[in-house]
Structure 1
Amino acid sequence: MTNVLIEAPSALQTAEQPINAHLTERRRWLIIALVLVPVFVGSIDLTIISAILPEVLIKLNIPIDTNLGTAAWLVTGYLLAYTVSMALMGRFSDMVGRRGAFLVCLALFIVGSWWVATAHLFPTALLNDIARRYLGQRPDLNQLTLLAVIIGRVIQALGAGAVVPVSLALVADLYPPERRAAAVGFVGAMDTLGWVLGHLYGGVMVGFFQQQGEAIRLWLAGLGLALPAPDWRTLFWINVPLGILAFVLMIFALRGVQHPISKGRFDLIGALLIAAALTCLVIGLGGNTEVTGATSLEALQAQTNQSPYNLGLLLSAAALLGIFLLWEWRQAHPMLELHLFRKRAVSAAMLTNLLIGFLLMLGLVSVPLLINLRAENASAAAIARAAERAGLLLSTLTIPMALASLPGAWLSGKIGFRNTTLSGIALAISGFALSGSTWRADTPELLMSLHLTLIGVGLGLTIAPIGTVVINAVEATRRGVASALVLIMRYLGMTIAIPSMTTYAFSRLNYLVSLARESFARDWAAEEIQRQSVRVYFESGVMVIAEMLLIGVVIGLLALLPALWLRNHQPTSKPAQDEV
Structure 2
Amino acid sequence: MEKSKKQTNVLLVTIAIFVGTFMTAVEGTIVSTAMPTIIGSLEGMAIMNWVFSIYLLTNAMMTPVYGKLSDMIGRKPIFIIGAIIFVIGSSLCGLSQTMTQLIIFRAIQGIGAGAIMPVSFTIIADIYPYEKRAKIMGMNGAAWGIAGIFGPLLGGFIVDQLSWHWIFYINVPVGIITIALIALFLHEDFTFEKKPIDYLGCFSLMAALLFLLYGFQIVGDTGKFSVAMVGIFALAIGMFGLFIFAEKRAVDPIIPLSLFNNRTFVIQNIVAALVSGFLIAIDVYIPMWMQGILGMKAAMGGFAITPMSLTWILGSFIAGRAILNYSIKSILSGSLIVVGLSAVLMMVIPMTTPFVLFLLITALIGIGMGITITTTTVTAQNVVPKHQIGVATSSNTLFRILGQTIMVSIYGIVLNSSIAKHIASETVSGINDKMMNKLINPLTAVDLDATIIQPLREILFDALHSVFIVAFIVVLLAFIINQFDRKNTPEIDA
TM over 0.5: yes
Number of residue pairs matched by the alignment: 469
Kindly tell me: are residues 287 and 411 of structure 1, through their superposed partners in 2, closer, same or farther at Cα, counting changes over 3 Å?
farther
Distance 1:433 1:445 in 2: 17
2:87 and 2:452 mapped to 1: Cα distance? 53
Deviates more, 1:495-504 or 1:339-348: 495-504
8 Å contact from structure 1 (residues 42, 161) kept in 2: no
Counterpart of 2:464? 545
How many Å separate the matches in 2 of 1:556 and 1:465?
16
Q: Over alpha carbons, which structure has the higher Rg?
A: 1
Map 1:341-490 → 2, pairs under 5 A = 341-375=260-294, 385-402=296-313, 404-438=315-349, 440-490=350-400
Q: For 1:173 and 1:196, locate their aligned partners in 2 and report how far apart those are by CA, in whole Å.
A: 28
Q: Report 1:132-147 matches (<5 A).
A: 142-143=97-98, 146-147=99-100
- Cα 1:429–1:264, aligned 2, differ >3 Å: closer, same or farther? same
Structure 1 108/542 Cα, relative in aligned 2: closer, same or farther at 3 Å?
A: same
Aligned residue number for residue 136 of structure 2: 183
C-alpha RMSD of matched pairs (Å)? 3.1
* CA 565–467 in structure 1, closer or farther in 2 if over 3 Å, else same: farther
Separation (CA, whole Å) in 2 of partners of 1:187 and 1:205: 20
Of the three residues 21, 34, 58, the one matched with 1:81 is 58
- TM-score w.r.t. the length of structure 2 is 0.85
Residues 1:493 and 2:407 aligned together: no
**Aligned mates of 1:233, 1:514 — CA distance in 2:** 43
- Residue by residue over 1:483-534, the C-alpha shift from the partner in whole angstroms, topping out at 9 and shown as x without a partner, is 111011111111111221222233344445656649xxxxxxxxxxx99986
Identical amino acids, percent of aligned pairs = 24
Measured in 2, the distance between the counterparts of 1:540 and 1:55 equals: 30
Rounded Cα–Cα distance in structure 2 between residues aligned with 1:455 and 1:179: 23
Q: Provide the C-alpha distance between the structure 2 equivalents of 1:194 and 1:410, rounded to a whole number of angstroms.
A: 24
> Against the structure 1 CA distance between its residues 375 and 472, is the aligned structure 2 distance closer, same or farther, given a 3 Å change threshold?
closer
1:205 to 126, 136, 154: 154
Of 482-491 and 538-547, more deviation after overlay is shown by 538-547
Q: Report whether the alignment pairs 1:100 with 2:31.
A: no
- Aligned AA for 1:169? T
For 1:89, the aligned partner's letter is Y
- Give the 3 Å change call, closer, same or farther, for CA 475–188 of structure 1 in structure 2: farther
The match for 1:110 is 87
Q: Secondary structure at the match of 1:310?
A: helix
Deviation at 1:445, TM superposition (A): 0.8
Corresponding position of 1:281 = 212
Aligned match for 2:39, one of 57, 81, 86? 57
Kept after mapping to 2: 8 A contact 1:176/1:572: no
Partners of 2:239 and 2:147 in 1: how far apart? Answer: 29
Aligned-pair distance for 1:479? Answer: 1.1
Q: Does 1:153 align with 2:64?
A: no
Note the C-alpha offset of 1:418.
Answer: 2.8
Q: Which stretch of structure 1 is more off in the superposition, 454-463 or 503-512?
A: 503-512
Distance in 1 (CA, whole Å) between partners of 2:491 and 2:294 is 55
**Residue 19 (structure 2) pairs with residue 37 (structure 1):** yes
Q: Which moved more, 1:246-255 or 1:349-358?
A: 246-255
Residue pair 2:384, 2:492 contacting (<8 A) in 1 also: no
Aligned position for 1:251 = 183
**TM-superposition CA deviations, 1:414-453 (whole Å, max 9, x none):** 4343333222211111111122112x22111111221121
Unpaired runs of at least 5, structure 2: 429-448
Q: 1:55 to 1:568 in 2, by over 3 A?
A: farther
